[in-house]
Amino acid sequence: MSEAKVSDLTRRPLVILDCDKTIQEIASTMADNRVSAVVLADSGRPIGILTERDLARQVCAKGLAPEKTPATALMSAPVVAVQADSTLQDAAEQMVKNNVRHLAVKDERQHLVGMITATDFAWYTARKVAGKSGVLELLYPYEEVGEEIS
């Protein structure tokens, strides 16, 4: 049996937004698409990532005005990414090394095609331990792999 790959976990829709958006626009898009992070791009080139955690810790805690604060003021850069054919062990090591909970996923052409999270690792582990469970699917519904939302 072969070792599990990042592509086995890449189920979240990838949301890439222009970096000129406000954090209010970003938060709204994240909620609408049920994602915990977005990639920010400048002229189509990924330049950073913004997560729910960034919003909670930086916007709420510091009292920033969401409708006025640019997303680039809060984003983490550069985007930390892993190849789709990397092992889950390699991906986990990248998360720890870079102290991140989200990894962008690249295909063989180096294009971003998805996102994996620490929650995805927990979900994957739970499925491996418990087997396929209707409860897990209800708690963790996903769109098709590689679907991009912009």
Q: What percent of the chain has pLDDT over 70?
A: 84
Q: Note the pLDDT of residue 22.
A: 96
Query: Per-residue pLDDT averaged across 126-135, rounded?
Result: 63
Position 87 scores a pLDDT of: 93
Quick one: pLDDT band at residue 121, thresholds 50, 70, 90?
A: confident
Percent of the chain with pLDDT over 90: 63
How much is the pLDDT for 144?
A: 41
Residue 143 has pLDDT above 90, yes or no: no
Strand order in the sheet with 45-51: 45-51, 37-42, 14-18, 148-149
Asked if residue 149 has pLDDT above 60, the reply is no
Residues 6+ apart with CB under 8 A from 75: 19, 40, 47, 48, 49, 50, 54
**DSSP per residue over the chain, as a string?**
-PPPBGGGT--SPEEEEETT-BHHHHHHHHHHHT-SEEEEEETTEEEEEEEHHHIIIIIIHHT--TTTSBGGGT-BSS--EEETTSBHHHHHHHHHHHT-SEEEEE-TTS-EEEEEEHHHHHHHHHHHHH-S-HHHHHHS----TT-EE-
Read off the tokens for 58.
């930086």
Mean pLDDT of 32-45: 94
Report pLDDT for 137.
54
Choice between 4 and 74, residue whose per-residue pLDDT is larger: 74
**Residues 49-102 pLDDT 10s:** 999 999 988 888 888 999 999 999 999 999 999 999 999 999 999 999 999 999
